[in-house]
Amino acid sequence: MRNQIKNSLVLVTCTAGIFLGSTFSCPQGVMAATLDFESHPGNYDYKRLIDVVTQYGGLYWDEDVTLLKESYYQTVYRNTYEFPSDDSGDHDWAVYNTGGASTITVQGTNTGATWNFLGADVAGWGLDDQIWDGVGATEVSFEGFFEGSSVGSAQLMTIGVSSFASSAIAPINNIDTLVITAVSEGTWLMDDFVFTVNSEVPEPATMALLGLGLAGIAGIKRRRTGNQ
């Protein structure tokens, strides 16, 4: 099924080469992606993401992440605002923490490489275009980990309901796991999740040593040829 999934990504060029994403540079990774949760099989109003795909965007998502259709959210909960739109103009889907789960984890990539979290659009669960009292989250934090140790965090002190706030306070780099926490408790909505995947390119010093080694081998070969 994974081969059937085409996440909405934009192909652009940066100084590091060709990568996937939009409006972001490539400081550490060669691939950047904005996941807008628009592309997935099936027709439903809401459904757990892991029941639809094993991975999404090459990442492993928590079992308590649920896809939500904009029209259902607007009709049932009487909200008039729209989910953030992508470049194509579609804005039908977002995800939320099922049942107001206090923590959500997003793990690894399908290549095993480390990755960098650049941000996402987040809002509290609304009713009648206001934060649903006792249900909607008003404070969400993002914390990145590598091999179990925290490497950085970003926190939204207040999130609204009529517009999605950006969590891109600063990139959280070189992580294998991202933990999203409803600090205030409650349910949040998330869209346009942006990340880059780090490339497995040798460091300049390693490349220099490799070059010296190859030059040495070539010199030995020339001397042997001359002796013969």
Give the model confidence (pLDDT) of 126-177 as tens digits.
999 999 999 999 999 999 999 999 999 988 877 877 667 776 556 899 999 9
User: What DSSP designation does 45 have?
Assistant: S
Domain range for 147: 2-202
**Rg for the chain (alpha carbons), in Å?**
22
68: helix, coil or strand? strand
Let me know if residue 9 belongs to a domain.
yes
Cα(119)–Cα(194) distance, integer angstroms: 5
Let me know if residue 210 belongs to a domain.
no
pTM of the model: 0.74
Task: Give how many domains the chain has, as a whole number.
Answer: 1
Let me know if residue 170 belongs to a domain.
yes
- Confidence class of residue 31 from pLDDT cuts 50, 70 and 90? low
Cα(126)–Cα(130) distance, integer angstroms: 5
The CATH number of residue 30's host domain is: 2.60.120.260
Let me know if residue 227 belongs to a domain.
no
Least confident range from 28-32, 44-48, 140-144: namely: 28-32
E-only strand ranges, 23-92: 29-35, 46-48, 60-61, 65-69
Q: Which residue from 151, 95, 157 is spatially nearest to 121, judged by alpha carbons?
A: 95
DSSP string of 75-137? HHHT----PPP-TTS---EEEEEGGG-SEEEEE--TT---EEEEEEEEEE-EETTEE-TTTB-
Let me know if residue 128 belongs to a domain.
yes
Q: Which residue from 144, 141, 142 is spatially nearest to 107, judged by alpha carbons?
A: 144
Q: How many CB atoms lie within 10 A of CB 15?
A: 7
- Confidence class of residue 206 from pLDDT cuts 50, 70 and 90? very low
**What's the CA angle centered on 116, arms 139 and 144, to 5 degrees?**
45
- Confidence class of residue 5 from pLDDT cuts 50, 70 and 90? very low
Contact 26, 39 (CB under 8 A): no
Let me know if residue 61 belongs to a domain.
yes
Q: Which residue from 106, 103, 121 is spatially nearest to 185, judged by alpha carbons?
A: 103
Let me know if residue 220 belongs to a domain.
no
**Maximal C-alpha separation, the chain:** 89
Residue for token pair 């950085």? 152
Cα(167)–Cα(53) distance, integer angstroms: 25
Who has greater pLDDT, 170 or 81? 81
Dihedral angle at the C-alpha atoms of 127, 99, 141, 54, nearest 10 degrees?
A: -120
Let me know if residue 70 belongs to a domain.
yes
Who has greater pLDDT, 99 or 199? 99
